[in-house]
Amino acid sequence: MGVVIAVPELLAAAGGNNFLWPTVSTTVGHLQTRWPVVTLIPVALIVMAGYSVLRVRLGETAVQADLQAIGRTPQGRLVKQDVQFDQLAQGGIPPAPPQRGEFQRVLWYFAFATAVVVAGGLIAAPSDSPFVVGYVLYSLIAFFWVVIPNLVAYFFRKDFPFMTLVLTVRALGRRLQLAAAFVAALLVILLLHLALYPWPSRR
């Protein structure tokens, strides 16, 4: 997951303003100049993800007002759980299932997703604007590596064999606390950078 995002990001950063596509933050900044309300979207997503992790922790279950139980998979993704009324009446709810079905042929999925992302970038490349390439490239990456794995885990009870970003940082913290703290600081800087783009640079 990190490689999928880092490769186009680092290539764009190293290539400068004349590269085939811009960085993620430059792409978001371009959207913000056209529609300022877009500024709220990345900030809201980051805050909602952090709140979700605090609200539903790994191995725990939360029950919503509609009595729908939500747990978290070992990889860190939310999943619907079935809860019986007698369990609620007794004041107990089942913990998040420790083992679930795993998405089969994940390597084939990664190969297909990579091919689609590359093909989408190549199709958009003839465009006069590098931002069009950026929109296509980053949207496809988000769809195949974030949206689909979470939807499959939530609705179909199948897990992709890689952790979410938050759980990866948490696991890193168990081995090297300073490194995890550094990554967390970078996420906060990213939040401010996207909200106050182009901070810390000047226009």
Is residue 113 classed exposed, middle or buried when 0-12, 13-18 and 19+ CB atoms within 10 A define those classes? middle
Instruction: Choose among 42, 38, 37, 76: nearest CA to 56.
Output: 76
Residue 120 is predicted with a pLDDT of: 92
Quick one: tokens of 114? 């990579």
Quick one: tokens of 56? 């539903």
CA distance 173 to 168: 9
CB 3, CB 132: distance < 8 Å? no
Instruction: Give the E-state strand segments of 8-145 in sequence order.
Output: 61-63, 69-72, 78-81, 101-102
Residue 167 is predicted with a pLDDT of: 77
Residue 100 is predicted with a pLDDT of: 58
Residue 94 is predicted with a pLDDT of: 55
Residue 64 is predicted with a pLDDT of: 74
User: What does the angle CA 30 – CA 36 – CA 135 come to, to the nearest 5 degrees?
Assistant: 35
Per residue of the chain (203 residues), what is the pLDDT tens digit? Answer: 677 778 888 888 888 777 888 888 888 888 888 888 887 888 888 888 878 777 777 767 777 777 777 878 777 888 877 666 666 555 555 555 555 566 677 888 888 999 999 899 899 988 888 899 999 999 999 999 889 988 888 888 778 878 787 777 777 777 888 887 888 888 888 878 877 777 777 65
Residue 203 is predicted with a pLDDT of: 59
